[in-house]
Amino acid sequence: MPNHYHLLLRLKFDTAGDDFSKAMSDSANSFSKWHNKEYKRKGSLFIRPFKRKLIEDDHQLAWTTWYIHRNPLHHGYTIDWKSWKFSSFQIFFTEKPTALTRNFILDFFGNKEELLKQHNLNANDTMLNLIAIE
């Protein structure tokens, strides 16, 4: 999206300290400085400061994945969230090399077809149907 982004990260280390937050802040600041210089602009790029939320169960992981992929539709940037060019959604349906851990999400949902089926549900249906994944 033009003014914010969502990342779903699976970390292999303890993130209870400030190291992760500092790394995310440094990354956003570095990108903002580059972008402002590249496009000869000033000021903030992002609406809010960085926030993080721990995924505590399978239901929350399923809902968060759904929310991230459908977020451009929610904000009115596209009517076809599946083909939003800045989304990772399409990578789950290709064999192209990627740094994403595609198999983790595909295995979690069961397969590509089930991922698509769950993502096509509306918010209320998703909250009900994803309970079956747990």
pLDDT bucket at 134, cuts 50 / 70 / 90: very low
Q: Quote the Cα angle for 69-74-77, to 5°.
A: 90
DSSP letter assigned to residue 18: S
Give CA–CA dist 116/27, Å, rounded: 31
Q: Comparing C-alpha atoms, which of 59, 50, 65 is closest to residue 10?
A: 65
Residue ranges per domain, the chain? 1-54, 58-133
List, for residues 88-97, the tens digit of each pLDDT value.
999 999 999 9
Q: Whole-number mean pLDDT of the chain? A: 82
Q: What are the pLDDT digits (tens) for 76-118?
A: 888 888 888 889 999 999 999 998 889 999 999 999 999 998 8
What pLDDT, on the 0 to 100 scale, is given for residue 18? 66
